[in-house]
Chain A
Amino acid sequence: MKRIVFGSLVAAGLAATIAVAAERAAPAPPLGLPPVPVPAANPQTPEKIALGKKLFEDKRFSSTGQVACATCHDAKKAFTDSPLATSEGIEKAGRKLTGTRNAPTVVNAAYFDTMFWDGRSPSLEDQSQHPFLNPVEMGLKDHQPILKIVRSDPEYAKAFVQVFGKKGSAISMTEVTQAIAAFERTQVAGDSPFDRYYFKGDLKALTDQQKRGFDIFVNKGRCVSCHVIEQTTALFTDNRFHNIGVGINAVQNDVPALAGEFLKAKATLAEVDKKVLADKRTSELGRFAISRGFEGLGAFKTSTLRNVAVTPPYMHDGSIKTLREVVVHYNNGGVTKEGDPVNDFLSSGIRKLGLTDPEIDDLVAFLEALTSPEYASLPSAARVEVKR
């Protein structure tokens, strides 16, 4: 008896030690989310994360000294620049330059397989280098100004030695982007009312209306196939690209010409980054700019729906202002104005839904249940009052 008790105490002690060690290595993921994927080449450390935050918020990494990552990905706005439809970068001739696309949230971006609306970047590490060089974002000609600062600024110099063991000219954009990525990997949020209802069994976490909305989300609304919910976790994205009829409808007749021109131009990846933010019509080609295939025409990456209620406006161009209008767009079968012609390359998962007005309201109510506690105080300005 004594021996068994002793053994189990030891085992418990060991387990506790292992658990503590594991916690130091990686915090348990939020309720409803899987462990954050961390590449072996860029492990998380508290010091690297702190350095990454500093870099993320540093406005000096722009041609005017006014724009940082945090400008468009503002922690106070769930890492977006809501309510801007398309983001604003450096100022030129008294006007802030703007691109063609809406700033996606960094929250839970760690779970994406690719970055940007068209997936042109394969990782968080790769992604952060591009906005620095985009003429309508930070407007730098190359990364030298950034490297100059991180190599010479005494606080940065100290941090880079501590985190990477590098100093002076040994510091490259690799270290900079790795630190930024490490910070971004800590911005994960789950534990929404939906998570507590579905994964914890707290039946009171959703209102009756939200429960009806959940049923619509899985069945009549046809949402769950792209905005994935699974048995034990919910990413709300399938990490794929779909043409859902936003934006492309306006350039439908030009698509063959646009696509042809784009292919002829034979843009490199870096050029694609500039092209798609510079020209709205090219931007509408979406994933095609990367995949060069029919299936990419007008297709954009499925966003996560976590915290969607507090990150308006919606879609790759920010063209839809409220959640209700988003649901109506889907209910119309992939057109914003009911009865408009559907574009030829519409994803075959999209079609008219036949939702009634109350059902639309229910679905919107469910979407509001996807907000994590840390963002619950942000205005949920996403719903238009329905007048009946």
Chain B
Amino acid sequence: MNRKIAALAVAAVVAGARLGADEFTKKDQERWEKEYMSVVTKGRELFTSPKLGTNGVACAQCHPNAANTHPETYPKFQKQLGRVIALREMINWCLQQPLEGKPLALDAPDMIALEAYVAHERRGVKLTPGKH
């Protein structure tokens, strides 16, 4: 048995496969970065779309380049909901209130995309959870 496993291992190494748990290459990184940016791009599309709500208002109308969304401050106490929330709950608040639409499921791909875009436009800003 041991000889068979050892042989397989050698074969795997020879084939170029990696056995390490979290080993990744620069190529992996670039590919995943692209995957991420594709979702960010989708998020930007949604963020500027007049179809998210029912009145034609787009997020970008009040938040150019997602300014004034403060993703770095979440979770925080949100006055408009009366409790501590995560960012995506505030996204849902905006969908329902100024955009007069319906909330997204918290794990909906569109929600992830919106969050990704918002966070991307705020990259590099220090995390300050709870800041009003």
Contacts from A to B (Cβ < 8 Å): 218-220, 222, 224-225, 228-231, 234
Contacts and interface: CB of A to CB of B under 8 A. Distances in A.
Q: Lowest 8 A-B CB distances belong to which pairs? A: A229-B82, A224-B82, A231-B83, A230-B82, A225-B80, A231-B84, A219-B96, A218-B81
Interface size range of chain B in the complex: 10 to 19
A124 B103 CA distance: 43
Contacts of A230: 77, 82-83
Contacts of B82: 218, 224, 228-231, 234
Contacts, number: 23
A224 B81 contact: yes
B96 A231 contact: no
Chain A contact surface mostly = loop
Nearest to A220: B96
A285 B72 CA distance: 43
Given A220-B96, A228-B82, 11 more contacts: A219-B93, A219-B96, A222-B97, A224-B80, A224-B81, A224-B82, A225-B80, A230-B82, A230-B83, A231-B82, A234-B82
Contacts of A220: 96
A165 B83 CA distance: 47
14 contacts: A218-B82, A219-B93, A219-B96, A219-B103, A220-B96, A224-B81, A225-B79, A225-B80, A229-B83, A230-B77, A230-B83, A231-B82, A231-B83, A231-B84
Interface string B25-43: 0000000000000000000
Nearest to A219: B96
A222 B98 CA distance: 12
Contacts of B96: 219-220
A359 to B, nearest CB: 14
B94 to A, nearest CB: 12
Interface string B69-111: 0000000010111111000000001001100000100000000
Contacts of A234: 82
Contacts of B83: 229-231
Nearest to B79: A225
A94 to B, nearest CB: 50
Nearest to B96: A219
Which one of B81, B82, B93, B97 has the highest number of Cβ atoms from chain A below 10 Å of its Cβ? B82
A219 B96 CA distance: 8
B77 A231 contact: yes
A222 B80 CA distance: 9
A249 B77 CA distance: 36
A331 to B, nearest CB: 14
A54 to B, nearest CB: 39
B55 to A, nearest CB: 11
A15 B85 CA distance: 35
A46 B99 CA distance: 54
Contacts of A228: 82
Interface in B1-38: none
A86 B39 CA distance: 59
A240 to B, nearest CB: 12
Contacts of B103: 219
A145 B97 CA distance: 55
A228 B79 CA distance: 9
Nearest to B81: A218
Nearest to B84: A231
A222 B96 CA distance: 10
Contacts of B77: 230-231
B78 to A, nearest CB: 10
Contacts of B80: 224-225
A167 to B, nearest CB: 49
Contacts of B79: 225
A220 B97 CA distance: 8
A234 B97 CA distance: 22
A222 B77 CA distance: 17
A234 B81 CA distance: 12
Contacts of A222: 97
Nearest to A222: B97
A229 B81 CA distance: 8
Nearest to B80: A225
A225 B80 CA distance: 5
A220 B77 CA distance: 19
Contacts of A224: 80-82
Nearest to B102: A220
B95 to A, nearest CB: 11
A220 B101 CA distance: 10
A213 B96 CA distance: 17
A303 B81 CA distance: 19
A229 B82 CA distance: 5
A220 B81 CA distance: 11
A26 to B, nearest CB: 26
